[in-house]
Structure 1
Amino acid sequence: MSHYKAPDHKREQFRRYLEKAGVVDSLTSVLVALYEQPEKPTNALEFVKQHLGTPGGLTAADTAALQQEVVDLRQKCARLEEENQELKARLQCDEQPDESAAPATE
């Protein structure tokens, strides 16, 4: 009998852990939302992923927009880094003493 006690104790500890962490409530609310859908989605797992990932759930359009924003910002960053390098090079050229402008000594 004591052999079966240990797994039950571990299982109960794990259940309490999930409840404390809010996992049980989150899963329950997502499953209730799925149950209450008038037309069930063709991919229930995708529905759960979308609604479980963040509060309010990001839609596929939101995710695509955020991914596009990341691409745009990376391109902008690359352009700015290139411009920065060009400006540094120009500044360095302007700061070097110009030998032709130095007065000639006779």
Structure 2
Amino acid sequence: MAHYKAPDHKREQFRRYLEKAGVVDSLTSVLVALYEQPEKPANALEFVKQNLGTPGLTAADTEALQQEVVELRQKCARLEEENLDLKARLQSHEPPEDAAATE
């Protein structure tokens, strides 16, 4: 029974794509960093996740950024409410458009 294999040209094309995108280099550097760890982390996958992202960005940085996003979304919602309130107050102080046109 023959096993299905992707054509070699498709594999080669995909490999070149990964190299051009920098994926191969990134994965290699993370795996080398894991290999060079004097004490291997208990969770290798977590190590890879933390070190594969933006260089220098720690879990604490990520958590702080997520908290900032939450706070900014809340502030945005408050400002939208304030904007609607101010528009309503402005409408109550402006004469109707029909009255302004007849004068």
TM-score, length basis structure 2: 0.76
Q: Distance in 2 between matches of 1:89 and 1:12?
A: 63
Q: Identify the residue that residue 41 of structure 2 maps to in structure 1.
A: 41
Q: Distance in 2 between matches of 1:51 and 1:41?
A: 12
**TM-superposed deviation, 1:6:** 6.8
2:19 counterpart of 1:19: yes
Runs (5+) with no aligned partner, structure 1: 98-106
Q: Identify the residue that residue 74 of structure 2 maps to in structure 1.
A: 75
CA offset digits 1:14-52 (Å, max 9, x no partner): 323322222211111001111111221111111111111
Identity %: 89
Judge conservation of contact 1:50–1:57 (CA < 8 Å) in 2: no
**TM-superposed deviation, 1:57:** 4.7
Pick 1 or 2: higher relative contact order, CA cutoff 8 A, min separation 6. Answer: 2
Q: Identify the residue that residue 101 of structure 2 maps to in structure 1.
A: none
The amino acid across from 2:70 in the alignment is V
Q: Distance in 2 between matches of 1:9 and 1:64?
A: 43
* RMSD after superposition: 1.9
Aligned residues: 91
CA offset digits 1:72-103 (Å, max 9, x no partner): 00110011011111111111111137xxxxxx
Judge conservation of contact 1:50–1:59 (CA < 8 Å) in 2: yes
Q: Look up the SS of the partner of 1:11 in the other structure.
A: helix
